[in-house]
């Protein structure tokens, strides 16, 4: 076997195009979930302000408090519709208003069919005894299904042309019609499957409730590990908006604001990390920066750490070491899991409408359970993050912000070495040239003129070439050349 055959990459495992496409589709789906989720902070604040322990405790504005609370409740009650519209618009490539309209049409068709099918597929004896009417309720999951359906139908049919006598219904107008027909079929199938779905979801909820420490710990680790791939929103949507039921509210987040005292399993553990742990990590990265970089890195880390503490927005800080110092991110993911497990073990329950920052902590303190203990727990995690991050950065010499190779100094050194070599080479060349021209009768004559008639003046091209070669040109500029360095060498790994 020849050496050329041995060097071929045929033995490497081929990358299939389908794998990349599947990842892109999942990432697009995860991003589309952010559009309806963006409405939740407003819903949470409005509903929270209208409750009895805040504005509702003042009799003079009790009616206003009820109005404000009702506004927030309306958004939570309409979450499935928000997800249907948001996902249809966010998932479809270049979607427009017709995409959202199709989602609304499909969702209305689905909900009405559920009302008709509920007495058929559900056992009404148990619910009738409790004075309740049986109802098929997929919650946010139903909205997600309709949103994806309308988005896919829009991409496939929004440019479809119909015969002239049906031309009015062609193009974008065709999408809502097709979505309504598709929603009819989907709703019937989902209605028939609902008893199995309900039992399965109840079993999962029971398993998580029986061991919230383990379940929340695993969720905390996976939540952080999925962020680099943009898939964490999918996991969050399941536990925050689907898993569990309390007085018609589904999911950990919705149940918390509906008054479920057991809610917050998948939210409480974020507070110690986002309010204390990550700001301490930012402090550690700042202190481990090189002396010449500390001023710049200090400003960056201070702003990102303060943002995490106040609002719970952690992406700017996490992305500063997620890839260039990935061992720190793995440690961060494990610590997040331990925080989720610890807060559940101590029976601490709180939640957030936006993220686990100080603002949400203070706003929801009145409806939380034992949340005062998050302060000492957070201080403990701050110490762990600070000293562990500093130790790991030093131990493995990680290239965190401020510890990268000084590219400017390295380039200056390389340029200086290159200039010295060229000067020596030019002197040697000049000496050899003088020796070879010594026998020429007109070599040193002052009357000798250049053959091109330029009277011995340097041409602009010569000046430009000299400038590029690192020798002062006609303009007096000096540009350092680094051609003696390896041209194939890329930037130093961060």
- Helical segments of 226-287, H only: 232-241, 252-257, 270-272, 278-287
Contact 86, 104 (CB under 8 A): no
Residue 135 CA to residue 119 CA, distance in Å, equals: 7
Q: What is the 3-state secondary structure (H, E, C) of 296-316?
A: HHHHHHHHHHHHHHHHCCCHH
Residue 447 CA to residue 440 CA, distance in Å, equals: 14
| The pLDDT of residue 423 is above 60 | no
pLDDT digits (tens, 9 = 90+) for 246-275: 888 889 999 999 999 999 999 999 999 999
Residue 238, SS3?
Answer: helix
**pLDDT score at 96:** 80
Task: Compute and round to an integer the Cα radius of gyration of the chain.
Answer: 33
pLDDT digits (tens, 9 = 90+) for 147-178: 999 999 998 888 888 888 877 888 888 999 99
**Residue 406 confidence class, pLDDT cut points 50, 70, 90:** low
> Nearest-5° angle of CA 257, CA 227, CA 342?
55
For residue 293, give Cα distances in angstroms to 289, 307, 313: 6, 21, 25
How is residue 417 written in tokens?
Answer: 């070495």
Contact 284, 257 (CB under 8 A): no
Contact 247, 254 (CB under 8 A): no
Contact 223, 348 (CB under 8 A): no
Report the Cα–Cα distance between both ends of the chain, in Å, rounded: 39
**pLDDT score at 439:** 47
369 beta partners = 349
**pLDDT score at 247:** 86
**pLDDT score at 287:** 96
Query: In the chain, where are the structural domains located?
Result: 78-210, 213-427
């Amino acid at each position: 076997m020849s050496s050329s055959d041995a060097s071929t990459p045929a033995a490497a495992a081929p990358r299939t195009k389908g794998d990349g496409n599947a990842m892109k589709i999942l990432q697009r789906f995860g991003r589309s979930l952010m559009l309806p989720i963006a409405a939740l902070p407003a819903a949470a604040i409005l509903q929270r302000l209208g409750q009895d322990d805040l504005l509702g405790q003042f009799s003079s504005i009790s009616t206003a408090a009820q109005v404000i609370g009702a506004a927030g409740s309306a958004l939570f009650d309409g979450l499935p519709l928000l997800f249907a519209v948001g996902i249809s618009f966010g998932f479809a490539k270049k979607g427009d208003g017709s995409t959202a309209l199709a989602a609304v049409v499909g969702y209305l068709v689905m909900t009405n069919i559920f009302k008709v099918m509920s007495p058929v597929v559900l056992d009404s004896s148990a619910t009738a005894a409790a004075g309740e009417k049986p109802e098929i309720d997929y919650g946010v999951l139903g909205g997600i299904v309709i949103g994806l359906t309308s988005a896919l139908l829009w991409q496939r049919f929004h440019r479809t042309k119909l015969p002239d006598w049906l031309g009015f219904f062609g193009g974008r107008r065709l999408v809502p019609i097709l979505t309504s027909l598709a929603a009819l079929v989907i709703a019937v199938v989902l209605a028939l499957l609902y008893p199995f779905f309900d039992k399965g979801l109840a079993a999962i909820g029971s398993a998580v409730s029986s061991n919230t420490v383990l379940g929340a710990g695993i969720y905390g680790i996976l939540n952080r590990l999925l962020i680099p791939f943009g898939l964490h929103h999918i996991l969050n949507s399941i536990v925050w908006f689907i898993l569990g039921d309390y007085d018609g509210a589904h999911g950990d987040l919705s149940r918390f604001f509906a008054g479920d005292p057991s809610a917050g399993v998948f939210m409480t553990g974020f507070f110690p990390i986002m309010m204390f742990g990550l700001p301490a990590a930012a402090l550690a990265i700042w202190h481990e920066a090189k002396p010449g970089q500390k001023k710049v890195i200090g400003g960056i880390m201070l702003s990102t750490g303060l943002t995490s503490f106040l609002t719970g927005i952690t992406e700017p800080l996490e992305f500063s070491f997620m890839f260039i110092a990935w061992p720190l991110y793995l440690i961060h993911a494990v610590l997040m899991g331990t925080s989720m497990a610890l807060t559940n073990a101590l029976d601490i329950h709180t939640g957030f409408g936006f993220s686990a920052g100080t603002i949400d902590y203070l706003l929801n303190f009145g409806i939380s359970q034992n949340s005062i203990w998050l302060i000492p727990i957070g201080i403990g995690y701050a110490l762990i993050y600070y000293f562990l991050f500093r130790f790991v950065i030093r131990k493995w010499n990680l290239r965190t912000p401020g510890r990268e190779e000084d590219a400017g100094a390295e380039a200056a050194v390389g340029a200086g070495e290159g200039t010295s070599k060229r000067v020596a080479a030019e002197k040697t060349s000049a000496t050899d040239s003088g020796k070879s021209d010594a026998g020429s009768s007109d070599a040193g004559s002052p009357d000798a003129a250049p053959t091109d008639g330029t009277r011995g003046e340097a041409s602009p091209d010569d000046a430009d070439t000299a400038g590029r070669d690192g020798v002062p040109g006609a303009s007096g500029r000096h540009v350092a050349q680094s051609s003696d360095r390896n041209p194939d060498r890329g930037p130093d790994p961060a």
